């Protein structure tokens, strides 16, 4: 009998509505399992690990990503797959972070959750959880069909570091604008085999060290010199993600370029990603991005914001030099870049 480990972190899927206040609050995960008797129909052993104190995903922090990675690492040989129940708000951050932390992964790690609590009449929690378990346990010829960190939500399976939460109200909460879905759930599960990451066969390794000394700047018409100045002078700052316009375009004002140059001279990495969900940064395509190329700004290509942040945290936590980090930022480590 195969074994699946469900890791419960919190989130809407494990909440009930307080009768007095009407607010949602967490409840015991054992009660959640009682709401889904269909789990017993799986021909797998289902084990459960629950966070001691379930949290709203808005409170998720890097030390909890490490906790998740260590749970998976310690239980890796005992289980064929892992399902992480997680709030949807920061699910894409956690999925991206785990993809970089769990090096040489060859088993499914599927994150899922819901937009409505498990006890609600129209909840999406049951289908999301049951299908996530099925995906996590799907093997062929002894090999996992999805040997990577992925997000399952509302009939679609997304690569974790390619997904972003794009809707706060619809059941279709996530999208993957720059990469195909890995699988679709209908009457049967249809896997897009050619788009699924291929493991390298090496032993699982955890990358434990994440450097959080990162800032982000989302450009807008009217952004001030004082604001940019204050960002680049944050103590111990190691990197800045700049969300630019379109295909990587930014103001050409001399003060803006000079401040970026000052930051780069201080060994601060500047990573350029687009504010657009779809498409990629192409520095030098227009005059408004040529200057970024010349001064040493790194192109983030078609990375999601979540992947850019967590990839920087991971690379900055290694012993790589600044120039080496800049090189790896432009290469695909876990399928995060096309």
Q: Which residues are catalytic?
A: 12
- Are 302 and 180 in contact, with CB atoms under 8 Å apart? no
CB neighbour burial string for 37-47, b if at least 16 within 10 angstroms, e if fewer = eebeeeebebe
Report the alpha-carbon distance of residue 151 to residue 88 in Å, rounded: 10
């Amino acid at each position: 009998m195969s074994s699946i480990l469900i890791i419960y972190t919190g989130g809407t899927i494990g909440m009930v509505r307080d009768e007095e206040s009407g607010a949602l609050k967490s409840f015991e995960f054992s009660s959640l399992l009682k709401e889904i008797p269909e789990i017993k129909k799986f021909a797998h052993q289902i084990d459960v690990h629950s966070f001691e104190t379930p949290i709203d995903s808005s409170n998720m922090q890097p030390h909890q990503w490490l906790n998740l990675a260590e749970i998976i690492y310690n239980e890796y040989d005992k289980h064929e797959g892992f399902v992480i129940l997680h709030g949807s708000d920061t699910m894409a951050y956690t999925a991206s972070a785990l993809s970089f932390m769990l090096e040489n992964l060859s088993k499914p790690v599927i994150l899922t959750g819901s937009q409505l609590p498990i006890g609600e009449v129209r909840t999406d929690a049951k289908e999301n959880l049951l299908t996530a378990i099925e995906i996590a346990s799907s093997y062929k010829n002894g090999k996992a069909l999805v040997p990577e960190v992925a997000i399952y939500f509302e009939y679609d399976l997304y690569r974790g570091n390619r997904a972003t939460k794009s809707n706060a109200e619809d059941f279709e909460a996530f999208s993957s604008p720059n990469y195909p879905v890995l699988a679709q759930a209908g009457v049967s599960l249809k896997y897009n085999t050619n788009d699924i990451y291929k493991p390298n066969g090496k032993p699982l390794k955890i990358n434990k060290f994440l450097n959080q000394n990162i800032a982000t700047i989302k450009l807008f018409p009217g952004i001030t010199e004082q604001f940019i100045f204050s960002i680049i002078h944050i103590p111990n700052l190691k990197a800045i993600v700049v969300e630019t316009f379109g295909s990587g375009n930014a103001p050409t004002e001399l003060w803006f370029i000079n401040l970026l140059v000052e930051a780069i001279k201080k060994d601060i990495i500047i990573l350029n990603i687009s504010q657009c969900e779809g498409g990629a940064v192409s520095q030098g395509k227009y005059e408004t991005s040529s200057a970024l190329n010349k001064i040493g700004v790194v192109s983030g290509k078609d990375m999601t914001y979540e992947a850019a942040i967590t990839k920087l945290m991971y690379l900055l936590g290694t012993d790589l030099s600044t120039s080496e980090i800049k090189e790896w930022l432009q290469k695909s480590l876990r399928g995060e870049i096309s």
